[in-house]
Amino acid sequence: MKTENPTTRISTISFVLLCGTIIFTTLAYGAVHQPIIALFYLVVTILAILWSADSLFTGTLRFSRSPLQLPLLLLGIYGLIQVIPFGYTADPDSGLVIARTISIEPFATLSTAVHILALCAFMAAVLIYTDRASRVRRLVTLITVFGFLYAFYAIIQSVLSPNKIFGIYEPVFAVPFGSFVNRHNFAAIIEMTIALPLALIFTGAVDKDKRLLYWVAVALMATALLLSGSRGGLVALLAGLVFLAILTIRQIGRSHAFLSVTLAAALVFIALAGAVFVGGDTSLTRFSDAAAGNDISSSRNHIWGTSLKVISEHFPLGAGLGAFPQAYTRFDTSGGAHRVDQAHNDYLQVLADAGVVGVVLGAVFIFLLFQEGFRNVKSQNKFRRGVAVGAFTGCFTILVHSLFDFVLHITAVSVMFLTLLALLAASGRRFDDDAIEVEDRSRSKKAATITDLSRKSSEVRSRRSRFPEPEA
């Protein structure tokens, strides 16, 4: 009996743990509560231990050279620098000696830096253990199936229990959808999960007998996104469709491109029809209701204007990662009646929290993302070309959505985003099992063809037995 060697076992356990983390963080209210975040840190620690054991058994230190992880790592390190004391001052009121730091709220900055480094470790693990063509396929299949089932559940919940998550938790100050307290975060997850199956269809990487299933999954996810009522999610989805068409139009020819664009338009129509059918008039009027809201806590124009004052006050080093709520209160015109924890624009918040350093790291990340994306969408492997297009499109939609919301501050959204980044990097690699996977798929197609021919031959023989040919 053949037994699996320790390194293979460790690699398998790590990969399964990574896949479970993607699903768990999404279902556990987006992993925004401290106990769930602590559990996420525990998983990252276990992955680090498994990685160390793997390196010990093989005698090789495994790591990924992908530059996509460097800006995130450097941002976490800069957060640690922001809490280093560079002097001390005495408080005239209390007489206490207070350390002077770049951050105006060192504890919040330290917590945020640790969180960013944990996310960076998670991404590094995905890059390391997505080391086979078969695992790329499994991870893409997992995200697609999960997106389909998750969207289906969210639609059912929006009909049966729209104000409660899992029929248990009822948020007070937000509009929930799916497993998220904030509907915009649900839309962010769907934007990324829908991109993979849609790109596989557009690039022709899906077998003909499975295309209908993929279209059903895509239509269901799009319907769920519309039902969530997220304006940022809708804009990001439409931008993603345009971006996807641009990426694929040169690869599949004009005739196929026209067909894909037509199908994309049909998808939008089907999603709109499904949203109206399931949610009635309220499913689409949520967009106008949200736009007409005058609540200062949800008015992005007011928050963005105040955020610019925070940026000006703490330029060029920033107020500190995670210190935005404290920096905001000084310029808050509501007198503290409403709490604002985020800038509702990830770009403004990076500038407010990390200053010029954050802007430089953000610009480097976007450059590396587009460089990697445009290179890998030209992959000769049809399936991984589809994966590259889907992962690239999913990341692009989040960059668009980040103009209106703070989606990347949610752990589950960040985990899915980093997983897509890892898939984008993996789509440009060559794996040892590439030839084996192609051979296996060719054999399965050949077997299916032989089975089909045998079935047709049996039908012909059956007809001849029932209707014998007349003798000459």
DSSP labels, 234-262: HHHHHHHHHHHHHHHHTTSHHHHHHHHHH
DSSP assignment of 364-390 equals HHHHHHHHHHHHHTT-SSHHHHHHHHH
pTM above 0.75, yes or no: yes
Q: How far is CA 276 from CA 215, 227, 374, in A?
A: 19, 8, 37
Query: In sequence order, which residues have a C-beta less than 8 Å from that of residue 351 and are 6 or more positions away?
Result: 311, 318, 358, 359
What is the token pair recorded at 113? 């830096």
Tokens of 54: 């793997």
Sign of CA dihedral 168, 169, 174, 177: negative
Examine the pLDDT at 310 and tell me if it is beyond 90.
Answer: yes
CA distance 456 to 463: 11
- Whether the predicted pLDDT of 402 surpasses 60: yes
Whether residue 210 contacts residue 386, with contact meaning beta carbons closer than 8 Å, is answered with no
More confident residue, 442 or 182: 182
* Residue count of the chain: 472
- The secondary structure element, H or E, covering residue 98 is strand 97-99
Listed residue (186, 202, 184, 200) closest to 144, CA to CA:
200
Residue 174 confidence (pLDDT): 79
pLDDT at 470: 47
At 49 the pLDDT is 95
CA gap 73, 294 in Å, rounded: 39
Average pLDDT over residues 125-133: 93
> Is the pLDDT assigned to residue 396 strictly greater than 50?
yes
pLDDT digits (tens, 9 = 90+) for 352-367: 999 999 999 999 999 9
Greatest pairwise CA separation for the chain in angstroms: 119
Cβ atoms of 331 and 310 closer than 8 Å: yes
What residues have CB less than 8 Å from 316, skipping those under 6 apart?
Answer: 355, 356
Share of the chain above pLDDT 90, in %: 54
Residue 312 has pLDDT above 50, yes or no: yes
Angle value at C-alpha 41, between 38 and 45, nearest 5 degrees: 140
Long-range contact pairs involving 178-182 (C-beta distance under 8 Å, separation at least 24): 178/150, 178/153, 178/154, 178/224, 178/228, 179/26, 179/27, 179/28, 179/29, 179/30, 179/150, 179/154, 180/29, 180/30, 180/410, 180/412, 181/29, 181/30, 181/32, 182/30, 182/410
Handedness of CA 456, 457, 461, 464 (dihedral sign): positive
The rounded distance, in Å, linking the Cα atoms of 62 and 154 is 39
User: What's the mean per-residue pLDDT of the chain?
Assistant: 84
**Cis amide leading into 316 (omega within 30):** yes
Q: Read off φ and ψ for residue 181, nearest 5 degrees.
A: -65, -35
Q: Are the C-beta atoms of 20 and 125 separated by less than 8 Å?
A: no
Over its C-alpha atoms, the chain yields an Rg (Å, rounded) of 25
pLDDT digits (tens, 9 = 90+) for 63-101: 899 999 999 999 999 999 999 998 877 766 666 777 789
What is the pLDDT confidence band of residue 433, given thresholds at 50, 70 and 90? confident
436 C-beta neighbours (distance < 10 Å), count? 13
- Class of residue 370 by CB neighbours under 10 A (exposed 0-12, middle 13-18, buried 19+): middle
Please give the structure tokens belonging to residue 124: 């590094």
Q: Which of 200, 48, 44 is nearest to 114 (CA)?
A: 44
The Cα 344–Cα 350 span in angstroms is: 11
CB 105 within 8 A of CB 356: no
In angstroms, the CA 244 to CA 221 distance is: 17
* Residue of 287, 245, 241 whose CA lies nearest to 268: 241
Q: Given this model, what pLDDT does residue 253 score?
A: 56
> Nearest-CA neighbor of 436 among 18, 137, 207, 114?
137
The pLDDT assigned to 373 comes to 95
Give the Cα separation of 139 and 405 in Å (integer).
Answer: 27
